[in-house]
A = this chain, B = another copy of it.
Amino acid sequence: MNAEILAIGSELVSGQRLDTNSQWLSQRLGAIGIPVHFHTTLGDDLEENVAALRVALGRSSLILTSGGLGPTQDDLTRDALAAVAGVPLVEDADSLAAIELMFARRNRPMVPRNRVQALIPQGAQALPNRVGTAPGIAMSIGAAEVISLPGVPSELKIMYEEQVQPRLRAKAGASGVIVHRVIHLFGRGESEIEAKALDLTARGRRPEVGITAHNATISFRVSCDGPTEADALREIEPTLEIIRRRFGSLVIGEVEGEDLAEALVHELAHAGRTIAVAESCTGGLIAAQLTKIPGVSAHFLGGVVSYSNDVKERILGVPRALLELHGAVSPEVAEAMAAGVRERLGADLGLSVTGIAGPGGGTAEKPVGLVYLGLATATGVESRKLNIGPEQPRDVIRSRSAKHAMNWARLSLRNESI
C-alpha cells in the first residue's frame, strides 16, 4: 500500500493557515507500516480537486483527504469524489439523522444547508462523526481506497483513530510497521558528519539512514519496516549503535525534538550538579529552554539576564573597570559573569553568554555574531569565543550561542573538551 494525503482548503494553500493534518496522518500511517509518498495541499476549487485526485489515483493505492466536508458552498470534496468516480451524490439517511441529532443536542437551529453534509457519492460509505457535523466518506475508486475526513484536527484525529486505522490495519494485514529512530548531534557541520557516515547513508542500505540539519543540530534518521515494532527495532538497533560509537560525545540525544537543553540537564542529573546562567545577548533563551523541562528545578537554580552593564555590575558583581577596559563583549566580562552568577546563586556551574546579536551594534573589531561564553566551576573559570557570522539574523545568532553554551557545559560535565 502506497499512501498519499490531500489537504483541501484555500486558507491552507494561500498560506493563511498551516496544515498540520498531513503530518499527523503520515505519522499514524507510518506507525502501521503504510508509507506516505506525497502530500498535496490545494484550494476549494472543484476542477483542481478533481485533477489532484486523478494524479493521486495514478500513483497511490490509498488516498486520505482532509477538509472540504463542511456545509458551506466552498466545501467540495463530496462533489470531487463523485465526479472522479463518475457516480451521483445520494443522501445518507443515517448521516442525516446524526446531523439532526447533533443540532438538537446543541439547541441550535439546523439550516437547510447542513443537509448537504449527509450527501455521499453513490456506493460510498459514510463514516460517522461523533464530535462534529461532517461525516467522513470511504470509497473505492478503481484499485484505490479513498478516505475523506473533516479538516478540523480534533475531529479528524478521533475519526482516524476510531474508524480509519482499524480499517487500514485489517487491509494492510501482514504488511507490518515502519519504525523511525533519531539521533541528534551537535558540534560539527552536516557535510563533515556525512563524510564520516557514507557507509550508513548509502542508497539501498537497510535500515535506511538519512541526515537532516536544523539550526546547527544534525540529526540521523534511521527507518526500517518489519512485521512488528520489535522486529523493526531489532534491525535498527545495530545501526544506532554504530552511530553512537562513531560520533561519541557529539551525540546529544535520541528523542525527537530534544536538543541541547535536554542533553545538558541529562548530564547535570548524571553528575548530580546544579547550574546557574548569566545571559546577555541570549537574553533568557537558555533559561527559558532549560525551564521547558519539567522537574529541572533540581539542577537549574536560576539565571540573570544582564542586558545592561549596570545589571552586570549590580547583580553579577562584574567590576565596572573590567566593563570599561574590555567592553561588555569580551572574554574577561564573560568570565566575570560566569563566576559572578555561580557564586551569587550558589551553583556548581556558572555559564555565561555575552555577544553582539545584531542587526545593529557591530564594529570592525567586534562584528555582529561575535560572542563570548564563560564557564565557571569549582576548579576555575574559562572563556570561549564564537564567530557566528555577521550575515546571520539575530535569532540564529541567539539560538546558536545558546546551543554552544549549553554544549560546552554538557561536555565539561563529561570531562570532555569541545
Given A37-B48, A40-B40: A195 and B113 within 8 A (CB)? Answer: yes
Bound complex: CA of A290 vs CA of B154, how far in Å? 24
Beta-carbon contact of A51 and B43 below 8 Å: no
Closest to A114 in B: B191
A170-210: CB near B (< 8 Å → 1, else 0) gives: 00000000101010000001111011001001110000001
Interface stretch among A65-73, A141-149, A245-253?
A65-73
Q: State which residues 131-174 of A face B: CB under 8 Å.
A: 131, 133, 152, 154, 158
Interface stretch among A80-88, A304-312, A318-326, A408-416?
A304-312
Is A33 an interface residue, CB under 8 A from the partner? no
Beta-carbon contact of A297 and B308 below 8 Å: yes
Bound complex: CA of A111 vs CA of B190, how far in Å? 10
Given A15-B27, A108-B189, A345-B315: A304 and B304 within 8 A (CB)? Answer: yes
Given A16-B27, A111-B191, A192-B111: A308 and B315 within 8 A (CB)? Answer: no
Q: A396 to chain B: which residues have CB within 8 Å?
A: 131, 154
Beta-carbon contact of A311 and B302 below 8 Å: yes
Is A237 an interface residue, CB under 8 A from the partner? no
Beta-carbon contact of A180 and B74 below 8 Å: no
Bound complex: CA of A180 vs CA of B95, how far in Å? 35
Beta-carbon contact of A30 and B14 below 8 Å: yes
Closest to A107 in B: B387
Question: Within the complex, what minimum Cβ distance (angstroms) separates A250 from chain B?
Answer: 14
Which of B283, B291, B296, B360 is in CB contact (< 8 Å) with A291?
B283
Interface stretch among A18-26, A118-126, A228-236, A264-272?
A18-26
Given A15-B27, A109-B192, A345-B311: A211 and B72 within 8 A (CB)? Answer: yes
Given A315-B344, A346-B314: A73 and B203 within 8 A (CB)? Answer: yes
Closest to A292 in B: B395
